[in-house]
Structure 1
């Protein structure tokens, strides 16, 4: 192999690692956090009270985090 071909292979592996890290962070933290915040603010708008809203947001965050981890574990 030439030096250019080896460099392309290494660049491809680096890009793949970066992509996996970004997608892992987005799906394991970003998606559950967004769903949790949306649930919390929706609950607040529905006048359910601050404590119930926070508990609902945390519950949805934990549930969606577990679902995402299970879905992407295979």
Structure 2
């Protein structure tokens, strides 16, 4: 998500707090928020898929292969 979309989300938020939004602006705000949330989830999922944990017995568990959508070998 680029910074212009984030700026628009903030602009709509501030406008809603001061004078209110039209129905079209409310719909735009909801769509932008959903897009933002999807981008955050994708980023978090990508980060979590790259985590490996060393078990007490010394073995390494790759969480991306164990729980994520990454297929192991």
TM-score after normalising by structure 1: 0.48
Higher strand share goes to which structure?
A: 2
Higher helix share goes to which structure?
A: 1
